[in-house]
Structure 1
Amino acid sequence: MCSGHYIWAIFFFASLCSASLANNAKINFREKEKKVLDQILGAGKYDARIRPSGINGTENAPTLVYVNMFLRSISKIDDYKMEYSVQLTFREQWTDERLKFDDIQGRLKYLTLTEANRVWMPDLFFSNEKEGHFHNIIMPNVYIRIFPNGSVLYSIRISLTLACPMNLKLYPLDRQICSLRMASYGWTTNDLVFLWKEGDPVQVVKNLHLPRFTLEKFLTDYCNSKTNTGEYSCLKVDLLFKREFSYYLIQIYIPCCMLVIVSWVSFWLDQGAVPARVSLGVTTLLTMATQTSGINASLPPVSYTKAIDVWTGVCLTFVFGALLEFALVNYASRSDIHKENLKKKRRDLEQASLDAASDLLDTDSNATFAMPLVRHPGDPLALEKLRQCEVHMQPPKRPNCCKTWLSKFPTRSKRIDVISRITFPLVFALFNLVYWSTYLFREEEDE
């Protein structure tokens, strides 16, 4: 029993010694990190105002800064303000020979700093930025890593609102290219050059969701700019967004089609139902006008015609045409009534004249005169018989289907309604064929 107690006591003592040694080693290791930082960043040893040397320590060569980024989210794309908002993790990497240190036989992989002003930083800025801010919850989302070979990695999380000039001629069947431009503000290409990091310089979060757009692809490129003060290095990312058409199909195109079709109901109502036809025409016209104004309120006042303008303009014209059609029908109906009254008066006058002639013949039936057996060439009865013979001698005309069909409707007002029932849908269907073939073909051509 005593030997067992001795063994446990020795084991416990050894554990305490090993733990204390590990703690001392950690303390010594952190002390070495502190000494390394003091050696490379101590007072009078490093000047953050001086840019690093170029490749292989060449003093006259420009400093090369490699850039990559990770797109975390794209919160909105505003058509009216022509801007978009993006949150990204931005990274820069360069080599500063002055920051080389001993890695303690591979144990010290890198040093981490949270203060950017301790080392030299590239003066990069986003040239098409409107607004931007850093993230400071809970601590500032930024770090600087210094590697033993003098390589410096700078990483920061930022949110930006960037300008995106848009061409809305094909709206809402359009694609938009929004750029993210980064350039040096003060260092020219003789002193500082930005390069895209090789192998996947731009990464995008998986399942990126946008309300009314889809990110189809992105391209990286260079956009060096020359000014009066020199040439400045510039990088850009072009984001190609495709607008989701299903939203606009449900919210704009189908309702407009329904309004146009509802306006055609007026053609099937009785021409005497004036209040019903006027109310239907005015209501559909005002609804279509409200729909058009709501669409234009969400878009900037551009000087060119958009695809949605063509659609709403033609739909508004069809609705207005249906209202004008009723005005024409009403006028034709009144004209038909006026003609019918004139015919009735003419028939009454003819009947009255016939009655008067019959009365005259009855009173003169005892008169002593004889009717001539041979009629003169100018006799009206002879002329009438001659005209009938000419009619029978003429060859029969081929029947016209349209005239035969329209002859079933005796009044002009009814004929106008019947023609409108066929003409309006046919013209609207033809417009749809031309509209969709034109703009869908343009979309494919732009690709």
Structure 2
Amino acid sequence: MCSGHYIWAIFFFASLCSASLANNAKINFREKEKKVLDQILGAGKYDARIRPSGINGTENAPTLVYVNMFLRSISKIDDYKMEYSVQLTFREQWTDERLKFDDIQGRLKYLTLTEANRVWMPDLFFSNEKEGHFHNIIMPNVYIRIFPNGSVLYSIRISLTLACPMNLKLYPLDRQICSLRMASYGWTTNDLVFLWKEGDPVQVVKNLHLPRFTLEKFLTDYCNSKTNTGEYSCLKVDLLFKREFSYYLIQIYIPCCMLVIVSWVSFWLDQGAVPARVSLGVTTLLTMATQTSGINASLPPVSYTKAIDVWTGVCLTFVFGALLEFALVNYASRSDIHKENLKKKRRDLEQASLDAASDLLDTDSNATFAMKPLVRHPGDPLALEKLRQCEVHMQPPKRPNCCKTWLSKFPTRSKRIDVISRITFPLVFALFNLVYWSTYLFREEEDETF
């Protein structure tokens, strides 16, 4: 029993000693990190104003800075302001021979700093930036890692609003290329050169969600610029966004089609229903005009014609044409009534003249009159009429015209206009849809220059 207590006591004492030694080792290790930082960044030992030397310590060679980034989110793409907002983790890596240190046999992998002003930093800026800010919750989202070979890694999380000049000729069947440009502000290519990191310089979060857009692909490239003060290194990322058409199909195209079709209901109403046809035409016209103004309010005033302008303009023309068609029908209806009144008056006059002639024959029935000759002269009207009938029978029969035969079923001209409009308007609108969609869908594929 006593021997068991002794064993447990020895085991407990040994564990306390090992823990104490481990804590001392940690304390000593952190002390060594502090000594290394004081050794390489101490006062009078490192000047952050002087740029690092070039490759292999060459003083005259430019400093090479390798850039990569992680695209975290794209919050909005504004068509009216022609800009987009993005949040990203931006990284730069370069080598500074002055920051080399002993890694203590591989136990000290890197040193971490949170103050960027302690070491030299490239003067990179975003040339197409409109607004931007750092993230400081809970602590500033930035760090600097210094590796034993003198390599420096700078990482920071930033949010940017960047300019994106857009070509809206194919809107909303368009694709837009938005760029993110980074360049040196003060160092020329003789002193500083930016390069994309090999492998995968741009990474995008997997569940990236964009409102009304889809990020199809991206491309990294160089965009060095020359000015009066020299040539400056520049990097760019081109992001290809494809607009989601389903939103515009539901919100714009289908409602416009419905308004155009509703305006055709006027062709099936009675010609005498003037208030119904006028109110239907005016209501659809005003609704279509409101829809058009709402679409244009969300787009910048550009000097060229957009695809949506063609669509709304033609739909507005069809609705306006349906209203004008009723005006034509109303005019033709009044003209038909006027002609019918004239025919009625003519029939009344003919009937009156026939009655008067019959009365005259009745009064002269007892009078004597000369015998009519048995042989008629060539100029006799009756003989001429018989001759015409013979010529008509001698002519070959004409083929019946289907359209005229069908239109002859509708006696009035106003009714014929309504019947023709019932067929013409849908056929022309269907032809317009065929031309519109074939033109802009094929042009979308041809104009893709990415």
Structure 2 residue 384 is matched with structure 1 residue 387:
no
> Equivalent residue for 2:253?
253
- Structure 2 counterpart SS, 1:352: helix
Deviations 1:186-243 (A, max 9, x none): 0000000000000000000002111101100000000000000000000000000111
Distance apart, 1:8 and its partner CA:
1.9
Q: How many residues in Structure 1 have an aligned counterpart in Structure 2?
A: 447
CA distance in 2, matches of 1:101, 1:182: 31
**CA shift for structure 1 position 396:** 1.8
1:388-417 Cα offsets, whole Å, 9 max, x none, are 333333322111111111111111111111
Residue 167 of structure 1 aligns to a residue in which SS?
Answer: coil
Q: How does 1:352-367 map to 2 (within 5 A)?
A: 352-367=352-367
Kindly state the Cα deviation for residue 445 of structure 1 after the two structures are TM-superposed.
Answer: 1.1
Alpha-carbon distance in structure 2 between the residues aligned to 1:441 and 1:23: 71
Tell me the secondary structure at the aligned position of residue 312 of structure 1.
helix
Matches within 5 A, 1:187-336: 187-336=187-336
1:349-393 CA-to-partner distances (Å, cap 9, x unmatched) read 000011111111111112232245554444443443333333333
Per-residue deviation at 1:82? Answer: 0.5
Aligned-residue identity in percent: 100
C-alpha displacement at 1:75, in angstroms? Answer: 0.6
After superposition, give the CA deviation of every residue in 1:32-73 in whole Å (9 maximum; x if it has no partner).
Answer: 111100000001110000000000000000000000000000
User: Aligned with 1:132: secondary structure?
Assistant: strand
**For the residues of structure 2 that align with 1:36 and 1:433, how far apart are their CA atoms?**
74
Instruction: Quote the Cα distance in structure 1 between the aligned partners of 2:141 and 2:238.
Output: 26
Tell me, which stretches of 5 or more residues in structure 1 are unaligned? Answer: none
Distance 1:53 1:392 in 2: 112
Equivalent residue number for residue 422 of structure 1: 423
The whole-number CA distance in structure 2 between the counterparts of 1:432 and 1:127 is 43
Specify the SS of the correspondent of 1:156.
strand
Secondary structure, aligned partner of 1:159: strand
Q: CA deviation at 1:15?
A: 1.5
- In structure 2, distance between residues paired with 1:411 and 1:403: 13
Could you tell me how far apart the structure 2 residues matched to 1:19 and 1:397 are?
Answer: 118
Cα distance in structure 2, aligned partners of 1:405 and 1:175: 50
Give the superposed CA RMSD: 1.1
TM-score by length of 1: 0.98
Return 151-160 or 362-371, whichever deviates more.
362-371
Distance (Å, rounded) in 2 between the aligned partners of 1:360 and 1:385: 28
Q: Distance in 1 between matches of 2:404 and 2:438?
A: 35
1:159-200 CA-to-partner distances (Å, cap 9, x unmatched) read 000000000001111100000000000000000000000000
Look up the SS of the partner of 1:17 in the other structure: helix
Judge which range, 254-263 or 190-199, deviates more. Answer: 254-263
Q: CA deviation at 1:298?
A: 0.7
SS of equivalent residue, structure 1 residue 356: helix
- For 1:408, what is the secondary structure of its paired residue? coil
Q: In structure 2, the residue corresponding to 1:31 is in which secondary structure?
A: helix
Distance in structure 2 (CA, Å) of the matches to 1:216 and 1:26: 50
Deviates more, 1:7-16 or 1:106-115: 7-16
Which whole-Å CA distance do the structure 2 matches of 1:322 and 1:154 have between them? Answer: 67
Q: Is there any run of 5+ residues in structure 2 with no aligned partner, and where?
A: none
Partners of 1:74 and 1:381 in 2: CA distance = 95
